[in-house]
């Protein structure tokens, strides 16, 4: 899959394709990735178009779409194009945001059309606010997963550990840990009551967790995407926000060794990363 961008601002002399409409949606896989959404484009009965490039431009947020070479948007169809976004400004209003598509029509002549995303303003604002909240949290705390030795609970092999939060700004207010979350291969549950709080005067906060295997076949383990995509829900000023938890190389090796034991695999199978 190739990433194809198009020039901005859009050439005012470019031909228009008024039969196209676009909205922004974010699926659960997009949320897991964290900086991606889908530009859902509908061809409202015009001719078939080949989509050559896609870009989203706004005062607070920009994105570049991923387009397969020569992908066709047939007449009367709706297709989703994944776009990796970047928050350009946390201070600017979302304001008018457009999707610029570089196309080729039936005559193969390239054209560019600009599609307003006014109906997606609320979705774009949520994306901007979440990213800006994460930026602020990253300036206040760091989070990492540390694990201990496997043990048996209720006749199942589990891995105890802690999610360690370290304050990076003594001027910050308290940060509350609302919940912890696992990944595609591991269930991570709190091993003490939540919520709990990293107070301003605290150097660090250890949140005890217990880790269990979620998938066990060699194929599932070997093909797993983002197996170490752990996180916590943190709240400082507003509602809880997903915050990524780091895993060191050593911790990943310990997780894989535990998974091999818990699943009865002959040897650790390195998952896709």
Whether the per-residue pLDDT at 79 is higher than 70: the answer is yes
- CATH classification number, 20-119, choose in 3.90.1150.10, 1.10.10.10, 2.60.40.10, 3.40.190.150: 2.60.40.10
Confidence of residue 89 (pLDDT cuts 50, 70, 90): confident
**Do residues 212 and 240 touch, judged by C-beta distance below 8 A?**
no
The domain limits of the chain are: 20-119, 136-263
130 three-class SS = helix
Q: Classify domain 136-263 at the CATH topology level.
A: Immunoglobulin-like (2.60.40)
Answer whether 20-119 and 136-263 agree in fold: yes
Confidence of residue 270 (pLDDT cuts 50, 70, 90): low
Q: Which pair of structure tokens corresponds to residue 22?
A: 């676009």
**Do residues 140 and 199 touch, judged by C-beta distance below 8 A?**
no
Please report the pLDDT score of residue 170 as a whole number.
62
pLDDT over 70 percentage in the chain: 85
pTM: 0.66
Burial 234-261 (b: 16+ CB within 10 A, else e): bbbeeebbbbebebeeebbebbbebbbe
Whether the per-residue pLDDT at 155 is higher than 70: the answer is yes
Q: pLDDT tens digits for 231-256?
A: 999 988 777 888 999 999 999 999 99
- In whole numbers, what is the pLDDT of the chain averaged over residues? 85
Whether the per-residue pLDDT at 12 is higher than 60: the answer is no
Q: What is the mean pLDDT of residues 187-196?
A: 95
């Amino acid at each position: 899959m190739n990433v194809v961008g198009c020039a901005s601002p859009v050439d005012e002399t470019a031909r228009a394709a008024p039969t196209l409409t676009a909205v922004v949606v974010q699926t659960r896989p997009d949320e897991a990735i964290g900086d991606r959404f889908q530009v859902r484009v509908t061809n409202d009965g015009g001719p078939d178009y080949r989509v050559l490039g896609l870009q989203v431009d706004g005062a607070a947020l920009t994105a570049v779409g991923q387009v397969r070479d020569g992908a066709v948007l047939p007449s009367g169809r709706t297709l989703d194009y994944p776009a990796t976004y970047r928050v350009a400004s946390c201070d600017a209003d979302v304001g008018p945001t457009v999707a610029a598509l570089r196309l080729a029509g039936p005559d193969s002549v390239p054209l560019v059309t600009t599609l307003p995303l006014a109906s997606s303003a609320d979705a774009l604002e949520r994306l901007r606010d979440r990213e800006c909240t994460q930026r602020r949290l990253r300036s206040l705390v760091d989070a990492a997963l540390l694990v201990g030795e496997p043990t048996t609970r209720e006749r199942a092999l589990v891995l105890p550990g802690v999610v360690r939060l370290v304050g990076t700004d003594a001027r910050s207010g308290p940060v509350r840990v609302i919940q912890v979350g696992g990944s595609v291969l591991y269930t991570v549950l709190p091993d003490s009551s939540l919520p709990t709080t990293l107070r301003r005067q605290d150097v660090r906060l250890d949140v005890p967790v217990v880790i269990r295997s979620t998938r066990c076949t060699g194929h599932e383990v070997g093909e797993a995407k983002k197996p170490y995509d752990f996180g916590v829900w943190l709240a400082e000023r507003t509602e809880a926000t997903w915050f990524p938890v780091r895993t060191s190389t050593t911790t990943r090796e310990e997780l894989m060794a535990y998974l091999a034991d818990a699943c009865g695999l002959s040897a650790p199978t390195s998952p896709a990363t």
